[in-house]
Amino acid sequence: MDYVYGPGRNHLFVPGPVNIPESVLRAMNRNNEDYRSPAVPAMTKTLLEDVKKIFKTTTGTPFLIPTTGTGAWESALTNTLSPGDRVISFLIGQFSLLWIDQQQRLGFNVDVIESDWGQGANLDIMASKLAADTQHSIKAICIVHNETATGVTNNLAKVRRILDDYRHPALLLVDGVSSICALDFRMDEWGVDVALTGSQKALSLPTGIGMVCASPKALEASKTAKSYRVFFDWKDYLKFYKMGTYWPYTPSIQLLYGLREALDLIFEEGLDNVIARHTRLATATRLAVEAWGLKNCTQKEEWFSDTVTAVLVPSYIDSSEIVRRAWKRYNLSLGLGLNKVAGKVFRIGHLGNLNELQLLGCLSGVEMVLKDVGYPVKLGSGVGAAAAYLQNSTPLIQSRI
């Protein structure tokens, strides 16, 4: 934004990367340190303990890898599987598509279950495949918890129930990049074997930490997995964990301090309160969309995402023009439609460290843009619907009671 100046703040409402709190920016504004000194391992130890809390696990082992969500994907796969292993993976949008592409390029035998974009994972087909797999040739179920391209959230508890019903030993690998710390996620309770997220989403940090958490079952699988891995090898991390130095290579000192502050903010608000806030903001956004007379890309309420809303536009409007106009005229950043829904949807991200008034500012900007591109929206309709809901549902700020 420094190269294309606009007055005031940029209103960042893409579904990641998200707004970074001022206190996190200040925490990261520091010089480099020797990561082999006693201070950094001591901080890392507490970070690893606290990261387990956002995954809601007491038995998992977390890894803080200097990478993006894509690297976290690769770490989850290569540490638990061998080339040629059969895995079930669900294609429901752009990011599940990209993970499937990675799985195939890594040499796994990927059994793809595809749904229309806007629908959730077809768990009935998964159940039939598990029922037929009496030899247990399926080694893993790979599922994106929250598909940001279409605003679809999958039911992980149901996935676990189906696996248990058929007494199937397949690993459950979950992409929680845009869900963990924003949506209800219970690693231990749902029997998730590997969960992963990225620092630039609900944690409200810069991109750069891929967080992977492995169950005891996944760690055991890593001992026999034959996929090549070097940078992402859990074994190297575990070796340094035992030594008490924690890092097999140089971490980003600044991001670690940022993570410390980001976790402190989440715990101060309360993780369950953070999740409730995301539900509240998402509900307000959907009420605004309904008031505008537009439709949600997500086809059923059970799949609605509380971190992003993908909005379908009429056929005579190119949704990409909405995104361009929002940025050029109102300094508002919205998410483009991707791949199959390019030009058909724009996306409103409502995740991370943001509040009700920030969201209402975004929704007012969207209304003006819709008017600009020729959609007959009544100015104030969506904002009014969202504000009425938020005025009745927003609690007092806990720290100010």
Annotated binding site for substrate: 347
Range list of H helices, 186-252 = 216-222, 234-243
- CA atoms of 191 and 79, how far apart (whole Å): 18
CA dihedral 270→274→275→281, nearest 10 degrees, is 150
- CA atoms of 11 and 361, how far apart (whole Å): 8
User: What are the residues whose beta carbons fall under 8 Å from the beta carbon of 200, sequence distance 6 or more?
Assistant: 16, 17, 18, 68, 206, 207, 208
Report CA 342 to chain centroid distance, whole Å.
20
Sequence ranges of the binding site: 347
Strand 295-296 to 308-312 pairing: antiparallel
- CA atoms of 118 and 151, how far apart (whole Å): 7
User: What are the residues whose beta carbons fall under 8 Å from the beta carbon of 105, sequence distance 6 or more?
Assistant: none
CA dihedral 82→59→111→176, nearest 10 degrees, is -120
Q: The tokens of 248 are what?
A: 């097999």
Are 92 and 126 a contacting pair, CB within 8 Å? Answer: no
